[in-house]
Chains A and B, each alone.
Chain A
């Protein structure tokens, strides 16, 4: 009997290892370990054994059963692994084929630049203010210390809606300074981006409609020092840390003192090149201390409050950032242009 069991053990082991699929393996389990299987068949002959041999054979049979069950289980795992491997091979894809195209929309490049600026100023405690484009000349000019007779008020420069030149398309975002001072509680920290209009024919650098960003701070104790500190910070964010700036006197009727801010040409490092027209510097914005007359005209006491303001052109900023060579592309809206950004 012992011999029979050892023969069965050897045959079963071999058969299990050679089984090639789960069905065959299951058939082996039934054949050797099933209720009517070979092992059971051998055990049926236990009655012929002596009382002494019986427990020994019983023990051996149990060992054999456990061993074969383990072998079957092991083989089952191996076969499963192998099947998974085959399945994975069947599922192979060419990863170099293109993905399913998902078209993402694009923000207009100019608004990319604008949003950068908004984010910087928001972080500095500024609000964003919006206002009318169809504007009273009073706000666009007079309240900004731009008198009747100033050349910018001529019909050759400004679009008007009435013969008395009372209502115009704003030529600058600066009237937003006046609106803000007249309506918002103090202190004020705001920027006002928007469309402005001047009577310029369309060419590579001109458009009758373009965009500016106005900014203004009104508070007690505000100085030209603040102006410089804030704008330097903004410029470092826009053009990178270590950007060299300079301020030079300029003239705007509604700021005094007035200045323009230049950054050192990034291309030539200030030596002078075609990008900076040989000057070594690139003008980026105009600014100044809000003229005390303008403050007073907006009902703010210039002996208590002071302020500074700046204005910059958005098109030129975006064109510089993205190396766009022709302003007309900005308003042409060709998708082959828009999708580059």
Chain B
């Protein structure tokens, strides 16, 4: 909503000299009418004055240019060269002086045109930011010949109404009453505590007759049209509206058309009530029916577009056809044209939601529909139609017919609230006395009788005592409300244990060198093909958005893998040498109730020179260790279609005795799945190299390494607070053994075997070498383990250590036919 400061003064005395834009904007903003920007229109039209062409002669060196001598009210006339052909001696023309700034951004300097000095420029309409709509007598292509009463030297900015300041407001959707001059004037009057000067329109209706004998208005859809008020004008004389009206319309951001159309727009800007004028001769049957469109009906709207109407769209119709889309745009078939003689003014109230949906469906949001869609005051239709007719008489645009048709089926509904100062103060934390509250409310137009507050009709947003609290607070001043902690019981803030563990996961990932990424929760269904998810995979059962932005963001992911691969691919394609990434992201698994389980996955992904399976596995192990998960098991997984079949591991762990069970009592909302009791192994996730066929789908010729670990499983399996274990008091004995066995025997199985055979004394076993090749028979491998043995109560003897090693070697031989090398 653009507000003209000049126009505002008609309703509230707020001269610019007293309240400059800055102060006006600040005060209005903090009382609830947010100012976006203010603009001094004269700033962009500087040093342009009225000039009188005193003499003209042909340019000596051009066949079309003229050298004019222009009187600009100074002692000496200026010499100005122009190429325009519509200027004659004696014309008054807008003259841009040396140093002038024009609304189109052009700066004018004294210059030479083909050797002749030109001390300024004669301006066209366009160069002044105007069109023929603003000055219907002027011509489009040529110098603007001024017909207004003025003298050489007069400021053109003032002459064309640019001596104004425009304030642009951002009005919240609950305040459609502020989408007009009177509404904003009311807010300004209360904000600056000045009287609001309102005018009651008076219509003489000298034409006599009676509208009721000329037409009939029927509302078929009273729920969509709460009120329809109409008056008629005959002997209409279509002409340009006067300059003052054109200026106000233009400064409010609209375009002047002709007197009748301008009047409807002027009333909308002034009262906030959209109006429409029909050429009554085009209303077949002389009746107006407010009804929904019938199947197959169409209308060509004023913008010249043929539009198909649907049955939910409210229309203004004659006895045969729609003549307008209610609240959106009129029909071309009843448009006001040059020879229109009889006009019907419509001032109606329509249902906001219906208008919005119609406007959206037709793709035409208009000044009218954008007001209607917020829900307008039905009490306003009467005042507005009166004002329109008053203006018709004032402008001599026609003769108003006696009588008003006013169809208002349900009549006025009043909202009456109780003023409860105690409650209001308790909500605000203030100590405002009841009388101050009453004064504020009365100024805003509320009727206050004791404790009873009647809400003005234009304030449909006020329906609860807390709304009154806001009205009081707005004008008491939000910034006057004291800033202090007033109430309440202390609460202990903090992360829940699960949130703290999740934070720890992020810290570990970063300490391992991974950068955190954030990816979209929605993906394309084709991404499941890219990761080779089988057609019957349950993960393909995704929640599908019915109105997605596009295919790429149309389903909710059930796996974070494609999101990670997308980002790795992007980085690879950006020629980043390496990328180590992690995300703790949700997946969305459909539930029977239509909602989703949204478990989080720790997703790791990397590529680069230093990456291989074991770097990735090391990351996985570090994460498990950081969470105190001690008994995790990695098993080869050749069934996962997204991963390299011989370079992929599944991870499991058994909940250990000290796995966390405790929950802080007040965090019931942060529930997590706890694994079932007992020694069942819980799957944690998968890690490995991405399958080369998947890599081909992403068009990448390099290995990617990814891991997906269930955060819920990690959190459920994580160890409790560590309990101190005494440091060993006796020295350890280390023995290295190397055995020869089938290459296919998993090292993990051999380690398990060694641990079992080693017993209590064996404190640690590590693989330190795996060798195949020269000296080793094909199909065999040499694998070397480092064994750490220690007794807790004495120094371990060599004999004891040897015995343990022998036991281990025997077990390896028995289980894997492994021979010592």
Contacts and interface: CB of A to CB of B under 8 A. Distances in A.
Interface of A: 102-108, 110-111, 118, 121-136, 149, 151, 154-156, 159-163, 166-167, 169, 179-180, 183-185, 187-189, 195, 197, 199, 201, 208-209, 217, 219-226, 228-230, 232, 246-251, 256-259, 277-279, 289, 291-293, 306, 330-336, 338-339
A221 to B, nearest CB: 3
Contact of B598 (A126, A132, A155, A331): A132
Given A222-B486, A223-B427, A333-B567, A107 B466 contact: no
A225 B570 contact: no
B356 interface: yes
B496 A127 contact: yes
A125 B493 contact: yes
Contact of B510 (A106, A128, A183, A189): A106
Contact of A306 (B427, B465, B522): B427
B360 A106 contact: no
Contacts of B479: 246-247
Contacts of A278: 37
Contacts of B485: 225-226, 229-230
B473 interface: yes
A197 B579 CA distance: 28
B582 A105 contact: yes
B438 to A, nearest CB: 18
B571 A333 contact: yes
The 10 A-B pairs with the shortest beta carbon distances in the complex, nearest first, are A225-B429, A221-B487, A223-B429, A105-B510, A249-B32, A257-B470, A219-B488, A251-B172, A149-B353, A103-B513
A179 B488 contact: no
Contact of A248 (B467, B478, B494, B594): B478
Given A132-B595, A249-B474, A331-B520, 16 more contacts: A105-B509, A105-B516, A108-B516, A111-B516, A136-B595, A159-B547, A161-B544, A185-B666, A187-B491, A224-B428, A225-B486, A251-B174, A257-B466, A335-B571, A336-B574, A338-B515
Contacts of A330: 518
Contact of B576 (A222, A230, A335): A335
A185 B495 CA distance: 17
Interface in B460-506: 461, 464-467, 469-470, 473-474, 478-479, 481-496, 499, 506
A163 B547 CA distance: 10
Interface in B495-553: 495-496, 499, 506, 509-522, 543-549, 553
B429 A134 contact: no
Interface residues of B, number: 96
A108 B509 CA distance: 12
B173 interface: yes
B172 A122 contact: no
B317 interface: no
A248 B474 CA distance: 8
A197 to B, nearest CB: 8
B487 A159 contact: no
A128 B495 contact: yes
B30 interface: yes
B430 interface: yes
A333 B481 contact: no
Interface of B: 29-32, 34-37, 172-175, 352-353, 356-357, 360, 373, 426-430, 461, 464-467, 469-470, 473-474, 478-479, 481-496, 499, 506, 509-522, 543-549, 553, 556, 567, 570-571, 574, 576, 578-582, 586, 588, 594-596, 598, 666-670
A223 B428 contact: yes
15 contacts: A106-B515, A110-B518, A118-B495, A133-B596, A151-B373, A156-B547, A161-B545, A166-B594, A180-B669, A184-B669, A225-B483, A249-B30, A249-B32, A279-B37, A289-B427
A128 B470 contact: no
A184 B546 CA distance: 33
A228 B588 CA distance: 37
A223 B580 contact: no
Nearest to B494: A122
Nearest to A186: B489
A103 B611 CA distance: 13
B482 A225 contact: yes
Contact of B473 (A159, A219, A224, A335): A224
A241 B31 CA distance: 26
A220 B491 CA distance: 13
Contacts of A105: 509-516, 580, 582
B666 A251 contact: no
B493 A121 contact: yes
A108 B567 CA distance: 14
A111 B495 CA distance: 15
Contacts of B352: 149
A197 B588 CA distance: 14
A129 B670 contact: yes
B670 A130 contact: yes
Given A159-B548, A161-B545, A199-B549, A220 B509 contact: no
B516 A256 contact: no
A157 B549 CA distance: 10
Tell me which of B373, B430, B543 has the highest count of chain A C-beta atoms within 10 A of its own C-beta. B543
A219 B515 contact: no
Given A128-B496, A161-B594, A251-B174, A226 B487 contact: yes
Contacts of B466: 256-257, 289, 291-292
B496 A251 contact: no
Given A179-B669, A225-B482, A277-B37, A104 B173 contact: no
A24 B547 CA distance: 94
B594 A223 contact: no
Contacts of B494: 122, 127
Contacts of B596: 132-134
B428 A335 contact: no
B518 A108 contact: yes
A179 B580 CA distance: 37
A107 B356 contact: no
A333 B581 contact: yes
B692 to A, nearest CB: 24
A335 B481 CA distance: 47
B470 A256 contact: yes
A126 B464 CA distance: 30
Given A104-B510, A107-B510, A219-B488, A334 B666 contact: no
A132 B595 CA distance: 9
B358 to A, nearest CB: 13
A117 to B, nearest CB: 12
Given A121-B493, A129-B670, A156 B360 contact: yes
B478, B574, B582, B596 — which one has the most chain A CB atoms within 10 A of its CB?
B478
B517 to A, nearest CB: 4
A331 B522 CA distance: 13
Given A224-B427, A226-B487, A331 B515 contact: no
Contacts of A183: 668-669
B527 to A, nearest CB: 16
A338 B478 contact: no
A151 B483 contact: no
Given A127-B667, A247-B478, A257-B473, A334 B493 contact: no
Contact of B549 (A208, A230, A289): A208
B545 A169 contact: yes
A166 B353 CA distance: 19
Given A225-B484, A259-B478, A167 B594 contact: yes
Contacts of A151: 173, 356, 373
Given A249-B474, A334-B576, A336-B576, A229 B484 contact: yes
A52 to B, nearest CB: 63
A220 B487 contact: yes
A228 B481 contact: yes
B543 A134 contact: yes
Contacts of B514: 105
A164 B669 CA distance: 28
Contacts of B499: 128, 130
Given A108-B518, A125-B493, A161-B545, A332 B488 contact: no
